Structure 1
Amino acid sequence: MNRFSIRVAIADDHPALQVGLQEVLRNTGEIEVVGICRNSTDLVDLLRHVACDVVISEYSIPSGKYRDGLELFGFLRRNFSEIGIVVLTTITNPAMMRTLASQDHLSVVSKADTINHIITAIYATFAGTKYNSPTIRSIASCMHASSIDVVAELSPREIEVMRLFASGNTITDIAAYLKRSKQTISSHKRSAMRKVGASNDIELLSFILNGQVGISPLDAQPEGVDSVGAILQDCDAT
């Protein structure tokens, strides 16, 4: 390992991706993988004990104490502000892509793009800037203006509440999951309904499930291509 190295932690539960990505990053000569985690609990524990410069995390990972998605990334930003975040995702919904791509502290890479874009994102994030891969930029730019206006008005918390609601969770379930009061969750839901113009739960679900506000339910996240470039094909072939 060179004297200079970027210390990277990986959070992803796909074994082939873990192994393949670790090998590719090691071959750069300037990136050191300091840990591989399967959930947010393990990731946060690692960051509290091991020096790290950049976290590479799948958007949806098995539930841990610190959740996943925007909930996890917000926690990392608040508690480990010196560590950059690169998000890997298979999400193809334009509005959700724009929500991710618009976050100032996140670099976002689609798993449909080649492995080189992850490396570029690591360097950019380490340098204090951000990088979104070509697929992310392309998908995010496909939104209609009206949808962009709606999503821009929604807060990250409102988006998360809507996503959980569309997955069949009750207000009580969501409150327990996000560790907030039922009154707070109800307030987020009412605010989101007002912003998207939904007058009842059926209309709200229709907006979400039809992709009109670009929020994919937890159990409906598109699986997409289970690889970054040809990395998994190469791993599976060995």
Structure 2
Amino acid sequence: MTLLSNKKITVALLDDHPMIRHAFEMAAAKERDIDLTGSFGHSRELLNWLQKNHADVLVLDYILGSDEMDGLSLIKHILARHPKLKILLSSSMESLAVIRAAFISGIRGYMSKREETQSYFKAVRMIASGQRFIPATIAMELTRLPVQKRHGDVLSLNPGANSGNEGSDFAQLTKLLSPREAEVIRCFLDGMQIIDIAAKLKRSRKTISGHKQAGMKKLGIASDLELFKYRSDLFK
């Protein structure tokens, strides 16, 4: 496949793990058509760099440090300022709900951190040429997600397709929850403790805690703090 004629593909990398950055930098140096123009451990470094520099593709780690924006917010923040930048999301977390929300937010590809480095460059080349990159197994699972689809499955969505009628990404993701999971999370966000929810729903604390954890997993949320952060976006 011929990509961008003889022009090198410029790539920026954001990952808070020094070893991953080092390995990617060494591997990229061996690729004749890849030019790694920036490698960063913090989003503020990347954002400052992007004000004066350009990259065709950004390889973005979804889970950064505790002092960073969450992945979806960072994707939106970057694309709002640099809409032509093509993002390849890289993550060790494989929550289908989060991957779908990331595509709705405008990423062009997804890659598991378990993949070999050469797979990243294959994805970078595809994205730079204007295509999407979604591993076949992930693509199949995404089409099966029981969420409301206004534009078909995620593979047919345009970047930023949620900018008008789609509503909140997380409001859409709540359709993944079972009625009991949704009820438990609603109660929790209203300030009720697990023991109080258990008494209200006449279930054991273990059962209620299980519903809460299952629901959070489906939403791609890892902590109570993050759950409350999206309180205004959930259940619209």
Task: Provide the alpha-carbon RMSD of the alignment.
Answer: 3.7
> Counterpart of 1:115?
117
Q: Check if 1:216 corresponds to 2:220.
A: yes
* Separation in structure 2 between the aligned mates of residue 126 and residue 75 of structure 1, nearest angstrom: 21
* Separation in structure 2 between the aligned mates of residue 124 and residue 197 of structure 1, nearest angstrom: 38
Give secondary structure in 2 for the equivalent of 1:108: strand
Aligned-pair distance for 1:92?
2.6
Aligned-pair distance for 1:114?
2.4
- Label 1:12 to 1:94 Cα distance change in 2 as closer, same or farther (>3 A): same
Q: Check if 1:57 corresponds to 2:44.
A: no
Identity %: 18
Does the CA-based 8 Å contact 2:100-2:142 persist in structure 1? yes
Count the aligned residue pairs.
Answer: 184
Structure 1 unaligned regions, length at least 5: 163-191, 221-238
> Counterpart of 1:74?
76
TM-score by length of 2: 0.63
Does the CA-based 8 Å contact 1:60-1:68 persist in structure 2? yes
Aligned with residue 156 of structure 1, among 169, 181, 196: 169
* Separation in structure 1 between the aligned mates of residue 46 and residue 214 of structure 2, nearest angstrom: 34
Aligned-pair distance for 1:95?
2.7
TM-score by length of 1: 0.63
Structure 2 unaligned regions, length at least 5: 155-165, 189-193, 198-207, 225-236
Q: Which moved more, 1:122-131 or 1:99-108?
A: 99-108
* Separation in structure 1 between the aligned mates of residue 91 and residue 125 of structure 2, nearest angstrom: 18
Which entry has the higher C-alpha Rg, 1 or 2?
Answer: 2
AA aligned to 1:9 is A
> Counterpart of 2:95?
93
* Separation in structure 2 between the aligned mates of residue 40 and residue 60 of structure 1, nearest angstrom: 11
- Label 1:207 to 1:77 Cα distance change in 2 as closer, same or farther (>3 A): farther
* Separation in structure 1 between the aligned mates of residue 168 and residue 215 of structure 2, nearest angstrom: 17
Does the CA-based 8 Å contact 1:89-1:110 persist in structure 2? yes
Aligned-pair distance for 1:22?
1.3
Aligned-pair distance for 1:24?
1.4
Higher relative contact order (CA 8 A, sep 6+): 1
Aligned-pair distance for 1:193?
11
- Label 1:101 to 1:157 Cα distance change in 2 as closer, same or farther (>3 A): closer
